[in-house]
Amino acid sequence: MSSNTQPLTPSALTQSSISNIDFVEYQGLARILHHSLIRYPEADFIKGLKECDVAGSWPEFNQRTENSTGRKLLQGFLQQWPNETDTAQAEKALITLKLDYGQLFFGPGEPTAVPQGSVYLCEEQLINDRTTVELMDFYRAHGVELQLDYKQPIDHIGLFFAVLDQSFGRLQTEVDNQALIRFVQVLLQQHLLPWATRCCELAVEHANSDFYRGLALLTSDFLLQLQQDFQVLAIDKRLFR
């Protein structure tokens, strides 16, 4: 690893950008992305996003194009989401959205935006490959335990946001926890950032709905913001898709 890919020391990082982060807000964003990416959408979840005006309240960060376009797409989609009183239209809309999630992230067949990191990072493009084992060892060394709805690879992009959710929750009261800051740095630099942007690019390219197209753009923008806030550069790894 070249020296310019190493994160700054935790103490320097704390003095500069960490104190400016609203970890309550970041935890909320991570939680939304976790629930959006980890499983098929449900009507109550979409309704909640609409009622809370998630698109309108999403932070603009550095006003990157990914952010403005993502918020616009998500807001337009949620505004047009049918009221639950229109049962037939609501059911049709949900089925269409579920189909979009399936073709992007789940199947049947090979997803167009595979959400597992090992598929991007390993030449054989297999699930649960070498990089998944490395992530598992990293989590074990730091006492991270994931609550899974069903058995699945731990390098699913939605599960990364669950871990970030937990970490940001702790950093709200442990802003000087250097070990936790370093954990987030390494998680981003070595395990998530090298491939996640490519996953988002594929989701933007192949999404059939503005919901997932907008979310993919906002996910990509949030990752860029985290990279800036935690002052890390993603390790340069060859991607195989």
pLDDT by residue (tens digit) across 139-171?
Answer: 999 999 998 888 889 999 999 999 999 999 999
Question: What number of other Cβ atoms are within 10 A of residue 180's Cβ?
Answer: 17
In this predicted structure, what is the pLDDT of residue 26? 98
Is the per-residue pLDDT at 2 higher than 70?
no
CA distances from 238 to 118, 160, 186 (A): 12, 20, 18
Is domain 31-229 annotated with CATH 1.10.3480?
yes
Percentage of the chain with pLDDT > 70? 93
Global pTM value: 0.93
In this predicted structure, what is the pLDDT of residue 152? 87
CB of 194 closer than 8 Å to CB of 223 = no
In this predicted structure, what is the pLDDT of residue 40? 97
The model's confidence at residue 20, banded by pLDDT at 50, 70 and 90, is confident
The model's confidence at residue 85, banded by pLDDT at 50, 70 and 90, is confident
In this predicted structure, what is the pLDDT of residue 131? 97
Percentage of the chain with pLDDT > 90? 85
* Alpha carbon distance 125, 82 (integer Å): 39
